[in-house]
Amino acid sequence: MKFQIQRDSLVQSVQDVMKAVTSRTTIPILTGIKIVASEEGVTLTGSDSDISIESFIPKESDGNEIVEISRTGSIVLQAKFFSEIVKKLPTDKVEIDVQNHLQTVIRSGKSEFNLNGLDAEEYPHLPQLSEEKIFRIPTDLLKAMVRQTVFAVSTSETRPILTGVNWKVEDAELTCIATDSHRLALRKAKVETEANESYNVVIPGKSLSELSKILDDNNDLIDIVITENQVLFKAENLLFFSRLLEGNYPDTTRLIPNESKTEIGMQTKEFLQAIDRASLLAREGRNNVVKFSTIEDGVVEISSNTPEIGKVVEEVQSQFIEGEDLKISFSAKYMMDALKALEGTEIKVSFTGAMRPFVIRPMNDESILQLILPVRTY
Amino acid sequence: MKFQIQRDSLVQSVQDVMKAVTSRTTIPILTGIKIVASEEGVTLTGSDSDISIESFIPKESDGNEIVEISRTGSIVLQAKFFSEIVKKLPTDKVEIDVQNHLQTVIRSGKSEFNLNGLDAEEYPHLPQLSEEKIFRIPTDLLKAMVRQTVFAVSTSETRPILTGVNWKVEDAELTCIATDSHRLALRKAKVETEANESYNVVIPGKSLSELSKILDDNNDLIDIVITENQVLFKAENLLFFSRLLEGNYPDTTRLIPNESKTEIGMQTKEFLQAIDRASLLAREGRNNVVKFSTIEDGVVEISSNTPEIGKVVEEVQSQFIEGEDLKISFSAKYMMDALKALEGTEIKVSFTGAMRPFVIRPMNDESILQLILPVRTY
């Protein structure tokens, strides 16, 4: 294998596939990046066996030559060193040349690296997915849906299925749900499908976070292929594979209350900042819990008391309070996570009593909701 | 004590004195910030007993009212909470009000904090230094001198004196020297003095690093007062005290060679980047050592070889090579530290053989030098 390549394209591709590479793997060859040079261009692959990322660098892009192939072939190079090296090479042009015994020479300007490579034949094969059934979603919408749900997955392995996000497609609508059993995040959006297929799968939260990081912010369509145990996201010149979690995701529809006894409208930012301050002293104490109560004239009081340190009282002027007066306690962290995930400057919180889960939604938007279980303190 | 204060001035002062506060202290009250309100303004103090920082907020600045004192007095508040609180307060105006039993109320907009304070009488007194003998240096020059030497102090406590920087003043010239016994950094500059005093003290490296962080980049003069066991840096509205290290700093003048057998001129940036790349594979191995040798036509070769991973060869075109040919090995980290500390785009390296310390200087500047001991490998 021998080719010349534009450094910046190589650096970008290496950074993308590095997202899947971990040094903590039981399969030594997965600490490497697989490089394949074909007549069409260069393909890089990184994998930790849960996530696999394939980045393709075409010979030409927008009429500019990116790669010049002298000899096709393949090699696996240690990801940690290869990624550092390409970032620091002195000139725009880089030559990669595999010689005898997998010795790989990387040349750029007056700099010459000689790396011990590994045989690409030993690198695990990526899953081959039949791509008959796909659905499509714009990249920026996909990133928003991930951001608005993935934070709510469980970080505990006691119920592994909750470490993933439940993706359901039905009637050309995608619903993403995440819960750690103390709070829940839900986001819906229309998707493009050809066949009107239904799916119900659980994607590891970590996979979605990594996917989000390597996708650019644009509205290009991403193709999504779901099989029994894999999901594949296809962007231009990028394939992102993730395994799916096995098992049944709990039915969360019954958790979400249909009615409410108290409805409160607030400015998102003002409410978020008041919660943040009210929890400053509580972070040390038990569970970071704040108290929330309606007082007179449409004012909401948020407070916390940590006797060793002190107490805080915040007042927020609501836009409206409808229904019963309320005193409730909840985790400030969960509330801040939920508020940060919501789009829009105004939110509506719907309570059904101090002991029941409550729901936060943007004003006039039914496509997203955040649900939080209160804490018993009153 | 009761006063109203502009939030941004308070936040800035709290950030400054926080640099001296540590949670790892055996004196519990030092986890707090002392606040004193006098007729003139508000003074904040933070200390870890090695470093003490005092920041003064005057009642007025440039004709704007910053503080309005209602009742003078003092209090000590937990630094960790107080600093977080002031940063997040909702309005520009903050009221601090000490009530009975050291209870302190912090009010801003609709936000009210109630903190348990500590008695300011129990806070250790700062050293009282006689300020008869001072010398002066512009802030930006002081910061440059610290930056160019402090990285070379020892991080090991086996010879505590080497964890400090040796400051000598003689004939109105300040010389700063730091060494960890493998490398040495030296910087000289003229200072302003009234009495033509001489000093020879050792200031903890950590103190100088913290001082550097809180000084603005300007050319206002800093007053420096040195006593037997303390140094005081005085900027506008800021006092920075540090204890001095006890003991004699080794005489380093004999370490610095007066003659050389090989002199090499190079572009700083090109040389630094070549060293950086040459060391990429060596970082794993023993000591991050690279080989440096003169080859034909004024070219310098820098290389390293880590058999398990691979090897690197870099060529740098020098501006000149005078004297004997040379093969030498040294720590890439020390060389990179030294090159980053030097000002100027061109440097000159003076060698006196493969086993002797060598000196790096900016071309045509005698006020700064970096010295490195080579490693035996050839």
Both B283 and B264 in a single domain?
A: yes
Both A93 and A138 in a single domain?
A: no
Class of residue B132 by CB neighbours under 10 A (exposed 0-12, middle 13-18, buried 19+): exposed
pLDDT digits (tens, 9 = 90+) for B235-256: 999 999 999 999 999 999 888 9
**Tokens (6 digits) for A179:** 């819960």
pLDDT digits (tens, 9 = 90+) for B55-87: 999 999 989 999 999 999 999 999 999 999 999
User: Which B residues, 280 through 319, put their C-beta within 8 Å of a C-beta on chain A?
Assistant: 280-281, 308-317
Q: For residue A263, is it within any domain?
A: yes
Both B148 and B216 in a single domain?
A: yes
Q: What interface predicted TM-score (ipTM) does this complex get? A: 0.88
Both B195 and B81 in a single domain?
A: no
Q: How far apart are the first and last CA of chain B?
A: 70
Q: For residue A377, is it within any domain?
A: no
Q: For residue B45, is it within any domain?
A: yes
| Mean pLDDT, range A40-45, rounded to an integer | 98
| Mean pLDDT, range A318-323, rounded to an integer | 96
Say yes or no to pLDDT of B44 above 70. Answer: yes
Buried b (16+ CB within 10 A) or exposed e, A146-185: bbbbbbbbbeeeeeeebbbbbbbbeeeebbbbbbbebbbb
Q: For residue A125, is it within any domain?
A: no
Both B235 and B332 in a single domain?
A: no
- Confidence at B344, pLDDT banded by 50, 70, 90: confident
Question: Rounded distance, CA B160 to CA A29, Å?
Answer: 46
pLDDT digits (tens, 9 = 90+) for A300-315: 999 999 888 999 999 9
Q: For chain A, what percent of residues have pLDDT higher than 90?
A: 85
Give the number of other Cβ atoms within 10 Å of residue B80's Cβ. Answer: 18
- Confidence at A284, pLDDT banded by 50, 70, 90: low
> Could you give phi then psi for residue B261, rounded to 5 degrees?
-105, -25
| pLDDT for residue B74 | 97
Question: Rounded distance, CA A140 to CA B192, Å?
Answer: 60
Which residues lie closer than 8 Å to A339 by C-beta, 6 or more apart? Answer: A268, A271, A272, A275, A347, A360, A370
Largest CA distance in chain B: 82
- Confidence at B286, pLDDT banded by 50, 70, 90: low
Picking from B223, B251, B279, the residue at the C-terminal end of a domain is: B251
Say yes or no to pLDDT of B378 above 60. Answer: no
Both B138 and B80 in a single domain?
A: no
Is the CB of B310 less than 8 angstroms away from the CB of A112? no
Q: CA dist A176 to A55, A146, A152, A165, Å? A: 26, 8, 11, 6
The CATH number for B188's domain is: 3.10.150.10
Both B112 and B203 in a single domain?
A: no
Q: Give the total number of structural domains in chain A.
A: 3
| pLDDT for residue B23 | 85
| pLDDT for residue B318 | 97
Residue of B81, B89, B107 to mutate, interface with A, max A Cβ within 10 Å: B81
Q: For residue A85, is it within any domain?
A: yes
Q: For residue A80, is it within any domain?
A: yes
Picking from B202, B225, B251, the residue at the C-terminal end of a domain is: B251
Give the closest-approach CA distance of B268 to chain A in angstroms: 14
DSSP helix/strand/coil, B323:
strand
The boundaries of the domain holding residue A320 are 255-370
> Could you give phi then psi for residue A114, rounded to 5 degrees?
-125, 105
Question: Rounded distance, CA A47 to CA B361, Å?
Answer: 47
Is the CB of B88 less than 8 angstroms away from the CB of A277? yes
Both A140 and A190 in a single domain?
A: yes
Query: Mean pLDDT in chain A?
Result: 94
pLDDT digits (tens, 9 = 90+) for B117-173: 999 999 999 888 876 778 999 999 999 999 999 999 999 989 999 999 999 999 999
Say yes or no to pLDDT of B367 above 70. Answer: yes
| pLDDT for residue A19 | 95
Picking from A201, A236, A251, the residue at the C-terminal end of a domain is: A251
Q: For chain A, what percent of residues have pLDDT higher than 70?
A: 98
* Cα–Cα nearest to B16, from B267, B250, B212, B154: B212
Question: Rounded distance, CA B58 to CA A45, Å?
Answer: 61
Both A189 and A151 in a single domain?
A: yes
Could you identify the residue written with the tokens 């039949």? A130
Q: Rounded to 5 degrees, what angle do the CA atoms A148, A152, A157 make? A: 145
Say yes or no to pLDDT of A378 above 80. Answer: no
pLDDT digits (tens, 9 = 90+) for A146-163: 999 999 999 998 999 999
In A, minimum Cα distance to B83 occurs at A280
Say yes or no to pLDDT of A131 above 80. Answer: no
Q: For residue B87, is it within any domain?
A: yes
Both A76 and A55 in a single domain?
A: yes
With beta carbons under 8 A apart, name residues in chain B contacting A112: 312-314
Is the CB of A280 less than 8 angstroms away from the CB of B308? no
